[in-house]
Chain A
């Protein structure tokens, strides 16, 4: 079974600085998808970014980018120019090509210091 590990329960960063959240996963499959979801205090799960495993290019969405290392099974999220509104729980998630459901990591709570 696939597993997703987020080794950082909590992270903090100064406003306007850059922070990287770590995520590793375990799978024997070659075709899959990886996601980062943000869960602010409102508890709404918001899709931040997604990466297809077959793509070598790292996904980017404005201030959010990923470092996808397929061989190392690593999928870190970099947030540039951190803003107060970025404060939230961040969940890394995996979905295999043939499966319907997501496998979530434990989450990382990100605090932005003004």
Chain B
């Protein structure tokens, strides 16, 4: 199947700083990527939908100025958590929608653990 790579897998940052997480589709072009947050023992919560070359669409309740999403190419989307606080500590997962065929299968990255201290 298609491969989506997420980096870094683990990151610790100081409160008040910003941290960037990258999501790459390695062997396919993804016009659409998605960013999720997952709390312990819960399902995935969609944060935003990212379309290549345009602004991301954020879900209700997600601060777009805090969670900056950039999708500059067909293979790369980035999530930047700005002015991070301990409550932003979480597991963040990206996914990418294949552009070929029906574009109806979505593949996930390995996820990134963010700890804000």
Are A and B a genuine interacting pair, yes or no?
Answer: yes
The residues of A with any CB-CB pair to B shorter than 8 Å are 33, 35, 37, 42-47, 50, 52, 91, 95, 97, 100-102, 104-107
Is B97 on the interface with A (CB-CB < 8 A)?
yes
B33 to chain A, nearest CB (A): 10
The residues of B with any CB-CB pair to A shorter than 8 Å are 1, 32, 34, 38, 42-44, 46, 49, 91, 93, 95, 97, 104-108, 110-111
- Complex Cα gap A45–B95 (Å): 9
Specify which of A50, A52, A100 lies most central, judged by the most chain B CB atoms within 10 Å of its CB: A100
* Given known A-B contacts A101-B49, A107-B43, A43 and B104 have beta carbons under 8 A apart: no
The 4 closest A-B pairs by CB, nearest first: A45-B108, A43-B111, A104-B43, A44-B110
A82 to chain B, nearest CB (A): 22
- Complex Cα gap A52–B103 (Å): 12
A35 to chain B, nearest CB (A): 8
A31 to chain B, nearest CB (A): 10
- Complex Cα gap A97–B102 (Å): 9
* Given known A-B contacts A45-B108, A47-B105, A91 and B95 have beta carbons under 8 A apart: no
User: Do B43 and A91 touch (CB < 8 A)?
Assistant: yes
Q: Chain B: which residue is nearest A32 at the CB level?
A: B104
- Complex Cα gap A46–B97 (Å): 14
Contacts of A37 in B (CB 8 A): 108
User: Do A42 and B110 touch (CB < 8 A)?
Assistant: yes
A41 to chain B, nearest CB (A): 12
B1 to chain A, nearest CB (A): 6
Contacts of B38 in A (CB 8 A): 43
- Complex Cα gap A100–B49 (Å): 8
